[in-house]
Amino acid sequence: MPAGRPCTLSEFAAERSDLSGDKAGLLAVGFNARLVACHAQSISSLTNDTSAWMFSLLNVFSWRRAGTGQSHEMPTIFRRLSTISRMLLHPYFVFDGPDCPQIKRGKDVGGWSPPSLLVQRFQELLTAFGFDWHVAPGEAEAELSCLQSCGFIDAVVTPYNDTLLFGATCVLRSIRGDEDVEVYSAEAIENSAALEWGDLLLITLMSSADSDTGCRWCDTDVARRLVDYGFGRTLLEAAISLQFVEFMEFVAKWRDNVCEVLRTDPQHFLGRRYHELARIIKEERFEFPDPAILAMYLSPLTSWSDDGHSPITCVTSRQPNLTALAAFCSQRLGWPPDTVQSALMDACAGAAMRALLQVSFAIMPNMPIPSHHSPYAAAGQRRW
């Protein structure tokens, strides 16, 4: 999508944090905990800077293959968290929960396995760094999007494009190259790429792999041109406004209209006719779009589902506990004293920066200690 703006996470945090005025506070950024971890050898040639840890976000980590004990993943995670501690932001981490979908975008995404020793060590380390976290009931990205819609966090870091479908309004997508992230906002996508929420939903449904065959319905370019006929927006409106029985009646007619457009391309938006794709949808895939997939995006399982309560009241962070970090490095990682001392230098820099921020806010009149409070009592609920 052309709406992405490249920058580094440090730059984004610095430009978006408000360190003056009546609403002073640091940027709050949500992370899917799964995406922060990676195998150390995949980034062994990189330096220990912002680019290094952001590059590691590209490597989706599988807890099922996680090591235990003094694994090589923990030093990598330690370095990433050390770097985050020096940034002008409040990080918040969410772990996938027990009801995380096993299949997504037609692919096995791993789901949840019982907490491994690595997961427990990761959580210990987050606490030692002064970073808050919790385990979502379902998918971490849906939980993070809900946290953002409630106003708890300002942005979500992810390599995925479909986070916006969960309601996230500002996504930092990790990328390769000289720049670290691309900033996507719902407003920028709508203004620059002329895509609304329903359009993104249709693109995802059409270009995702089929769960039975593993084949995609069509490529993203075809799906992008199909949205010009308005099918995504009408589908979303119906999904939100209609009861289930009414929606299923609507979608049968909607599917026929999609097939007719694929066969004829009456306004020449597609550039050609797709008879075979129309035939497959019409004759072989009677449940397209799958109601379960729509529900996964439009009504995902979160802490707020079924009138649930928010797991947090605000997002903030504390100074790293250097004593706890030193003990972790020595006892959990088995590092010798000189290695521990070297590793704690970055953490000390983060502790010093946060201490200076606290002093600055304390001595300036009428300025609160920077935290990030929710302006809403609960997340907005979608009807369907």
The reported pLDDT for the residue numbered 309 is: 87
CA–CA distance, 55 with 59 (Å, rounded to integer): 8
Containing 173, the helix (H) or strand (E) segment is strand 170-174
Q: Which of 182, 149, 186, 163 is nearest to 12 (CA)?
A: 182
- Taking only the tens of pLDDT, the chain with its 384 residues reads 456 788 888 888 888 776 554 444 688 999 988 766 543 333 333 333 333 333 343 343 434 444 444 556 788 889 889 988 888 889 999 988 888 876 655 555 554 454 577 888 899 999 999 999 999 999 888 999 999 989 999 999 876 666 788 888 888 876 553 346 788 887 777 776 778 889 989 988 887 756 555 556 677 888 899 999 999 999 999 999 999 899 999 999 999 999 999 999 999 999 999 999 899 888 877 678 877 788 888 889 999 998 888 899 989 888 899 999 999 999 988 999 999 999 898 888 888 887 777 665 555 545 444 444 444 333 344 434
The reported pLDDT for the residue numbered 107 is: 54
Domain ranges across the chain: 5-193+314-379, 197-300
Q: Which of 310, 35, 9 is nearest to 155 (CA)?
A: 9
Q: Which of 152, 164, 98, 97 is nearest to 298 (CA)?
A: 164
The reported pLDDT for the residue numbered 18 is: 65
Indicate the pairing of strand 103-104 with strand 107-108.
antiparallel
CA–CA distance, 200 with 233 (Å, rounded to integer): 9
The reported pLDDT for the residue numbered 32 is: 84
CA–CA distance, 96 with 138 (Å, rounded to integer): 6
- Give one DSSP letter per residue of 86-132, joined into a string: TSSEEEEEEE--TT--SEETTEE-----SPPHHHHHHHHHHHHHTBE
Phi-psi region of 367 (alpha: psi -120 to 50; beta: other; left: phi over 0): beta
Helices (H), 168-304: 186-192, 197-207, 220-226, 231-241, 244-264, 275-283, 291-298
Q: Which fold has domain 5-193+314-379?
A: Rossmann fold (3.40.50)
The reported pLDDT for the residue numbered 225 is: 92
The reported pLDDT for the residue numbered 218 is: 73
